[in-house]
């Protein structure tokens, strides 16, 4: 039994942490968000040189061969700096789906370009009607000579404005809510019929609506067997949710630290406000919320490793991951709101970092299912049948 990171994991964690401390302060981040691109290509190339973009990929494709614990280690540190460069979108989500795919030509073609920093990827899945339901897909993929034609609309596509490759989900068979019949295609941003309407999210990240009009794709652009895309999504979802939760944990810990420090210096009624018991108890509650979230993350990491090694059941892991995302939602909300409240007026300002951490936490909450969605899924697994 141990909850330590390995030496390699500590090295990469330290390297991300040093970057955030030394090169990614709040003003630097603001400059990046306000730039035309919205991300720093320079930093992205640096991430590639430092090997961060190779973390979860297999050695076969030039990767580091890491696992979900390595991803969590990187994501937690990125959270502490609310790094806007699309690591989660490109490496964890897009890269995760690609890694799990069976199409090895596609993998050997694209994974090395992710690792080199040349491919920015995005998963275009959500639709105007779908909310959080992953199998609600109405974008169509109609069979044509040698391939398919894609038509439909994808919304709130994370990193949509900067990505040059999309993994697009579309229906090759079945009805709107059917699990079977959803297929995943690799689509180039520049492909004819792809229109990207980019905009910004409140956490500084880019997003887009993707209009697909008779986009021609080949059989070889399918990530795995046609109609079995949901299997791939289900397989990768724990890693996605764990990665985002680790990022959230980094944010929550940072918000708590900043708030406690502020309460020691802010004077009112002739004393630091941190000396008031009513505020102390609230900061203890947010401290406990953060520790509980960390414990849930560690639980998910331990169980993921066991599942990969064939030792525990996937249902237990699924329950834990739902519980993790719901816990992140619950305590993330409390910690974010308390951070603003305890900072008082200054916490309301755009000039202070607090609000920006809170906004990223809020966006993590609504990524791939909010707290209520995951708690209901947890209930389904725990109390039915």
Partner 1 sequence: MDIKFSAEDIAFRDEVRGFFVAEYEGDASTRLSDNSATDYKSAIVGWQKKLHAKGWIAPGWPKEYGGTGWSSTQKFIYETERGLAGIPDVVPFGLKMVAPVIYTFGTEEQKARFLPRILNSEDWWCQGYSEPGAGSDLAALSTSADYAGDNYIVNGRKIWTTFAQYADWIFCLVRTSKGIRRQEGISFLLIDMNTPGITIKPIVTIDGKHSLNEVLFEDVAVPIENLIGEQDKGWTYAKALLAHERTGMAEVADSKRMLEGLKQRATTEINGGKPMIEDPVFQMRMSDIEMELMALEYTELRVFASMADGGMPGPESSLLKIKGTEISQAIHELQLQLAANYGGALPGDLSSDELGHDFAAEARGKYMYGRAATIYGGSNEVQRNVIAKAVLGL
Near partner 1 by CB under 8 A: residue from 158, 172, 263, 367: 263
Residue 305 makes contact with partner 1 by CB under 8 A: yes
User: Site for partner 1 (CB under 8 A): which residue of 291, 333, 337, 352?
Assistant: 291
Q: Which of 245, 293, 353, 365 binds partner 1 (CB under 8 A)?
A: 293
Closest CA to 240 of 321, 326, 356, 361: 321
Which pair of structure tokens corresponds to residue 50?
A: 């430092």
* Residues that contact partner 1, how many (by CB under 8 A): 43
Give the 3-state secondary structure of residue 168.
strand
Instruction: Name residues whose C-beta falls within 8 Å of residue 18's C-beta, 6 or more positions apart in sequence.
Output: none
Using alpha carbons only, give the angle 179, 183, 184 rounded to the nearest 5 degrees: 125
Binding of partner 1 at residue 323 (CB under 8 A)? yes
- Kindly indicate which of the ranges 109-117, 140-148, 287-295, 333-341 contains the residues binding partner 1, using the contact rule CB under 8 A: 287-295
| CA-closest candidate to residue 161, choices 36, 48, 247, 46 | 36
Choice between 219 and 292, CB closer to partner 1: 292
From the CB of 2, what's the least distance to partner 1, in Å? 6
Question: Which of 22-30, 40-48, 81-89, 372-380 is the region at the interface with partner 1 (rule: CB under 8 A)?
Answer: 372-380
Distance CA 98, CA 327 (A): 28
Distance CA 107, CA 96 (A): 11
Which one, 197 or 299, has the nearer CB to partner 1? Answer: 299
* Nearest to partner 1 of 168, 297 (CB atom): 297
Of 2-21, binders to partner 1 (CB under 8 A) are: 2-6
What does the chain come to in residues? 385
Nearest to 374 by CA among 340, 306, 337, 324: 324
Spatial contact of 164 and 206, defined as CB atoms under 8 Å apart: no
Residues that bind partner 1 (CB under 8 A): 1-6, 69, 260, 263-264, 274-275, 277, 280-281, 283-285, 287-288, 291-296, 298-299, 301-302, 305-306, 320, 323, 326-327, 375-376, 378-379, 382-384
């Amino acid at each position: 039994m141990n909850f330590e990171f390995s030496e390699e994991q500590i090295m990469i964690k330290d390297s991300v942490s040093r970057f955030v401390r030394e090169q990614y302060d709040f003003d630097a981040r603001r400059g990046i968000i306000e730039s035309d691109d919205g991300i720093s290509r320079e930093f992205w190339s640096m991430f590639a040189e430092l090997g961060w973009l190779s973390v979860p990929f297999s050695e076969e494709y030039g990767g580091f061969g890491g696992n979900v614990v390595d991803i969590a280690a990187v994501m937690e540190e990125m959270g502490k700096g609310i790094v806007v460069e699309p690591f989660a979108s490109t490496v964890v989500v897009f890269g995760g789906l690609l890694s799990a795919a069976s199409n090895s030509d596609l993998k050997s073609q694209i994974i090395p370009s992710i690792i080199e920093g040349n491919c920015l990827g995005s998963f275009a899945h959500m639709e105007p009607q779908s909310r959080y339901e992953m199998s609600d897909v109405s974008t169509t993929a109609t069979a044509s000579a040698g391939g398919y034609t894609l038509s439909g609309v994808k919304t709130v596509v994370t990193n949509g404005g900067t990505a040059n490759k999309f993994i697009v989900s579309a229906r090759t068979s079945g009805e709107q809510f059917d699990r079977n019949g959803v297929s995943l295609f690799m689509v180039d941003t520049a492909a004819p019929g792809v229109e990207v309407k980019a905009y910004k999210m409140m956490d500084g990240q880019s997003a887009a609506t993707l209009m697909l009009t008779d986009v021609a794709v080949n059989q070889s652009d399918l990530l795995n067997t046609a109609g079995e895309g949901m299997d791939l999504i289900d397989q990768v979802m724990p890693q996605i949710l764990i990665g985002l939760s680790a990022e959230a944990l980094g944010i929550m810990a940072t918000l708590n630290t900043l708030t406690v420090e502020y309460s020691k210096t802010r004077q009112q009624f002739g004393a630091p406000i941190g000396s008031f018991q009513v505020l102390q108890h609230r900061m203890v509650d947010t401290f406990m919320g953060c520790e509980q979230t960390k414990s849930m993350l560690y639980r998910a990491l331990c169980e993921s490793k066991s599942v990969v090694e064939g030792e525990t059941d996937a249902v237990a892991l699924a329950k834990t991951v739902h519980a993790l995302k719901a816990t992140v939602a619950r305590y993330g909300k409390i910690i974010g709101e308390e951070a603003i409240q305890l900072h008082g007026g200054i916490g309301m300002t755009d000039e202070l970092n607090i609000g920006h951490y809170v906004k990223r936490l809020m966006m993590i909450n609504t990524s791939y299912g909010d707290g209520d969605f995951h708690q209901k899924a947890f209930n389904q697994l725990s109390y039915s049948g």
